[in-house]
């Protein structure tokens, strides 16, 4: 049986309360994304969920995507309760042929698309020498093919507007290979997404900026499912990190916000590590 796991298929983790407190009860927001429409894949949990809350608080109309209806409804409900705008689309991103339903929903609800954040991911610990072709293909469908297809679908919209943002969640596993990073399909797919991000940036500028975010060890459900919450792996990661802690989903959301605004207007084709200076 496949060991590959998408972020939303792991056990429930307590992340919504933290995100709500951070983004809806603290701080001052300047509406940096006012009236922008943002698609965020994998936004019913973890980093995507935190980003959906932050983007909404900054004025964006958010298209939440995922596979879990209850979580999707919860994220949308929280955003609307706090005065934001959001809708949701349920889709398993291994179904590449139907990713157009995400774009269709965005256009139906809001009429345009300004930001595409390809955040959803599938993790696989299976070594390359043991992985089945089915599992390999599923990892690539979620981590590479769906981001590519979504980019292809939003590019004409953004080009017509004369401006657009595409952000891809890659990983430190997209820089090199280590046993702690995962199996061959995961590491290879993240290298591929790094390359795709750079290729798109070269092809789509100057109207569309494309950047990648490469998280290190971030406290999410997917991470906890494979590493445990108090395992030797976690302790080693913390000890080897200059910041001496795991990252938070909110750390990734903050980077995504920066890349989605004009504050990063001269930055494209870059991969931004958010890993606490892991050694």
User: Which residues belong to the active site?
Assistant: 186
Neighbouring CB atoms inside 10 A of 263's CB total 11
In whole angstroms, what is the distance from residue 134 CA to residue 139 CA?
A: 9
Is residue 121 a contact partner of residue 169, using CB atoms and an 8 Å limit?
A: yes
User: How much is the CA Rg of the chain, to the nearest whole Å?
Assistant: 17
Q: Are strands 122-123 and 115-118 parallel, antiparallel or unpaired?
A: unpaired
In whole angstroms, what is the distance from residue 92 CA to residue 191 CA?
A: 22
**Which residues are within 8 A (CB) of 130 and not within 5 positions of it... i.e. 6 or more apart?**
none
Neighbouring CB atoms inside 10 A of 35's CB total 12
């Amino acid at each position: 049986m496949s060991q590959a796991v998408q972020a939303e298929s792991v056990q429930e983790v307590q992340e919504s309360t933290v995100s709500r407190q951070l983004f809806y009860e603290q701080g001052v927001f300047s509406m940096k994304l006012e009236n922008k429409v943002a698609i965020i894949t994998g936004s019913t949990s973890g980093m995507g969920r935190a980003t959906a809350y932050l983007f909404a608080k900054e004025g964006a109309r958010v298209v939440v995507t995922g596979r879990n209806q209850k979580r999707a409804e919860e994220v949308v409900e929280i955003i609307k309760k706090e005065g934001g705008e959001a809708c949701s689309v349920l889709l398993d991103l291994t179904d590449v042929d139907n990713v157009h339903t995400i774009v269709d929903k965005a256009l139906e609800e809001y009429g345009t698309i300004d930001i595409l954040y390809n955040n959803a991911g599938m993790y696989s610990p299976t070594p390359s020498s043991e992985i089945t072709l089915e599992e390999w293909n599923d990892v690539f469908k979620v981590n590479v093919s769906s981001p590519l297809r979504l980019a292809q679908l939003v590019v004409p919209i953004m080009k017509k507007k004369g401006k657009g943002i595409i952000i891809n969640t890659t990983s430190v596993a997209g820089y090199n290979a280590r046993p702690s990073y995962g199996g061959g399909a995961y590491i290879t797919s993240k290298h591929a997404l790094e390359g795709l991000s750079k290729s798109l940036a070269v092809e789509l500028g100057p109207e569309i900026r494309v950047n990648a975010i490469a998280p290190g060890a971030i406290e999410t459900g997917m991470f906890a499912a494979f590493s445990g919450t108090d395992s030797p792996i976690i302790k080693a990661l913390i000890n080897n990190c200059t910041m001496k802690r795991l990252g938070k989903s909110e750390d990734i959301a903050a980077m995504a916000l920066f890349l989605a605004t004009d504050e990063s207007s001269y930055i494209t084709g870059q991969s931004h590590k958010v890993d606490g200076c892991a050694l």
